Chains A and B, each alone.
Chain A
Amino acid sequence: MEKIANKVRETARLALANGEVNKILGWKKGDFWYDSYPAFITEEEGTASLIWDSFCVANLSKYLIEQLKEDIKVGVFLKGCDARAFNQLLKDNRVDRDKVVIYGLPCPGMIDPEKVKKAGLAKGLLDVQKSEDEVVFITKEGEQKFSAREFAYDKCLTCQYPNPVVYDELLAEEVERNNTTEYFYQDVEEIEKMSPDERFAYWVEQFSKCIRCNACRNVCPACSCEKCIFDNSKANVAGKAKVDSEEQFFHIVRAYHVAGRCVDCGECSRVCPVGIPLAKLNRKIIKDITEFYGEHNAGVNPSLDAPLETFKLEDIDPFETRAKGGK
């Protein structure tokens, strides 16, 4: 990855130097091995601090909404899921393609620091490096090697689009789509198999952890409304009480609102500070859409209609209970 990181820095430096863009959105490294965080760079010298490593998980595309309010041209580094997110923002008319230069980064999968901590490997950890399918943990005492899959984010394990679906320049060779080991709808089917009461109990327990921080919503590239209904006191839906029904309301509406627009980036689950598996709601909708209206991968091809934007006369009709007619 270090080779590509050099290319990231060089690309950014050149783009700023020759005036191709006014600002670069990339990642920088902070105090800790897992601390790769969004960087906004306008000066050529600043590009030296850019990085590309296994913790560049933050999706930079949603920042474009805010950044493009200024009349500038922005260069942005996007991974596979980030690129789908970008396309979705494009489709929702939230960004202007002409004002963005996309540097695509084929993504080998990101490492989940929580999994590293859980495995007891975080203590004294100085650096984590990834090569091919291996991940190397470096401490003062030495190095330890593991299979990268063991520490990948859950969302990366079922990733279908590691390669950017939209870019102006691709900074590395495409990686192989490697997604068959974990079955895509496994989690959803496990829940579907339960009885209604079991499902209810499962979700009530999950939702009851919710602290209403809105991280899932704010990180979501499909949640880009100018004003969210949950922020609108006049809409009279923004109950913040810690009661089951408010939590259910929030999470059902959140998931449903992105139906057909969810790019399956899994960021909602990743950022949830209390570990609610939110993507399982979104995946359920994706599964139903695929089953009823055919496969639709939001953000892959923004020229296609989203499933809820359109209809077909011959759509399945699960509702008709009696033949038409009669008085």
Chain B
Amino acid sequence: MKVLKKEKFPQIWQAINQAYELYLPIEKDDRVNFAQWTEGETVNLEALKTEISPKDVIFPQSETYLKFESDGKKLQLESVESENREYVLFGVRSCDAVSFNLIDNVFLREPIDRLYEKRRNKGTIVSLACSEPEENCFCSSFQIKPEEASPGVDVAAWDLGDKILWKPVTEKGQVLTQKFAQLMEDASQQDQEELIKLQNAIKEKVKELPLASVDPKVIKGELKEIFESKVWDELSQSCLGCGACTYICPTCHCYDIQDFAGGNCGERFRCWDSCMFSEFTLMAHGNPRTTQKQRFRQRFMHKLVYYPNNHGSYACVGCGRCIEKCPVNMNIVKVIKRLGGEG
């Protein structure tokens, strides 16, 4: 275990940036989001969660993977390789770190999504424990422990005031640590004790959170039963059908494939898509989901029933972003509670 003094931050950002692409929570116009670091950016590691989840670092909002050119009847296809360097994603909260594993479950199962795999393998992820969970956090509902290193992260870090405690957990994490070891010190006995104190404090805070009692297990019954519940009519009425919740969500991963045409050449890209959109399932000969109720139900059934059936865990990490961002204050907590018979 190492210790990194906060006064060394500018130095380590610079140093990491030499060897890797560096993504950090960066503040712009009062808003904090993960972005590639460049000299002079305001890094904000105090803000608990970024406005949008960091999933776009591992799964970009849009990426071109094919170029094409046609000449009469001839067609040329050329796959586009991403040119990204190895990168470090620094300051990921536990909920977001877990969300990466949830997306892995889909993209890294056969047939493996090579674009994603490549990008994922290039990343070293440094998590940062949540010293101050916020009132709309409910990660504990999904057995996520914000005081600990989440499975899958390469380095776990804790904020100890004027320094962070730095614990490599994987080989990649070791490599990163060794590279910049000269900027760090070994953690002392006292640091270790402080860590335990901090972790206990976080645990206590999490217990006290207003949404701590949210429990997805209240949703019981067969798939079809839940699907046919009357609750959907009621809950979906206020849904505007925008995709804000899906795009800020760390676990939503549906995508669209589109072509960009420019004369006889162009490119094909995939981009985020949302099951909330009316044309999401539209086919030439019809649409199986014509109402917002059906689309709304799809999103939550996916997170709370379908995904668990297929992968053994809920597709929600309790980050609370949808609670903050839904224009009409509809969110997964309301859905869980209502499906569980509350209200």
Bind each other: yes
Q: Is B31 an interface residue (CB 8 A)?
A: yes
| Chain A positions within 8 Å of B242 at CB level | 213-215, 217-219, 271
Q: Is A66 an interface residue (CB 8 A)?
A: yes
Known: A37-B330, A211-B248, A213-B242. A32 touches B135 (CB 8 A): yes
Known: A40-B234, A214-B277, A242-B61. A273 touches B247 (CB 8 A): yes
A299 CB → nearest B CB, Å: 19
Pairwise interchain contact A271-B327, C-beta atoms closer than 8 A: yes
Q: Is B52 an interface residue (CB 8 A)?
A: yes
Pairwise interchain contact A273-B241, C-beta atoms closer than 8 A: no
Pairwise interchain contact B269-A31, C-beta atoms closer than 8 A: no
Pairwise interchain contact B244-A273, C-beta atoms closer than 8 A: yes
| Chain A positions within 8 Å of B246 at CB level | 213
Partner of B329, one of A35, A40, A212, A219: A35
Query: Which residues in window 259-314 of B have CB below 8 A to A?
Result: 260, 269, 271-274, 277-279, 282, 292
Pairwise interchain contact B329-A240, C-beta atoms closer than 8 A: no
Pairwise interchain contact B52-A58, C-beta atoms closer than 8 A: no
Q: Is A239 an interface residue (CB 8 A)?
A: yes
Pairwise interchain contact B238-A211, C-beta atoms closer than 8 A: no
Size bin of chain B's contact surface = 35 or more
Which secondary structure characterizes the binding site on chain B? Answer: loop
Minimal Cβ-Cβ distance residue in B for A123 = B135
| Chain B positions within 8 Å of A212 at CB level | 61, 243, 247, 272
B235 CB → nearest A CB, Å: 10
B261 CB → nearest A CB, Å: 8
Pairwise interchain contact A32-B279, C-beta atoms closer than 8 A: no
Pairwise interchain contact A215-B238, C-beta atoms closer than 8 A: no
Pairwise interchain contact A273-B62, C-beta atoms closer than 8 A: no
Q: Using an 8 Å CB-CB cutoff, how does the interface string of A211-243 with B read, 1 for contact, 0 for none?
A: 111110111000000010001110000111111
Known: A242-B62, A270-B327. A231 touches B277 (CB 8 A): yes
Interchain CA distance A66-B236 in the complex, whole Å:
12
Q: Is A38 an interface residue (CB 8 A)?
A: yes
| Chain B positions within 8 Å of A36 at CB level | 329
| Chain A positions within 8 Å of B51 at CB level | 273-275
Query: Which residues in window 129-151 of B have CB below 8 A to A?
Result: 135-136
Pairwise interchain contact B279-A37, C-beta atoms closer than 8 A: no
| Chain B positions within 8 Å of A30 at CB level | 329, 334
Known: A214-B243, A275-B31. A240 touches B258 (CB 8 A): yes
Pairwise interchain contact A37-B328, C-beta atoms closer than 8 A: yes
Interchain CA distance A176-B323 in the complex, whole Å:
33
Pairwise interchain contact B327-A63, C-beta atoms closer than 8 A: no
| Chain A positions within 8 Å of B248 at CB level | 211, 213, 273
Q: Is A324 an interface residue (CB 8 A)?
A: no
Minimal Cβ-Cβ distance residue in A for B259 = A239
Interchain CA distance A214-B280 in the complex, whole Å:
13
Pairwise interchain contact A242-B60, C-beta atoms closer than 8 A: yes
Interchain CA distance A75-B33 in the complex, whole Å:
41
| Chain A positions within 8 Å of B325 at CB level | 273
Partner of B238, one of A37, A239, A267: A37
Minimal Cβ-Cβ distance residue in A for B274 = A213
A contact residues vs B (CB 8 Å cutoff) = 30-32, 34-40, 58, 62-63, 66-67, 118, 122-123, 211-215, 217-219, 227, 231-233, 238-243, 267, 270-271, 273-275
B contact residues vs A (CB 8 Å cutoff) = 29-31, 33, 51-52, 60-62, 64, 135-136, 210-211, 234, 237-238, 240-244, 246-248, 256, 258, 260, 269, 271-274, 277-279, 282, 292, 323, 325, 327-330, 333-334
Given A66-B292, A273-B51, 11 other A-B residues pairs in contact with their CB atoms under 8 A = A31-B210, A36-B329, A211-B247, A212-B61, A213-B247, A213-B274, A214-B243, A232-B279, A239-B258, A240-B258, A267-B327
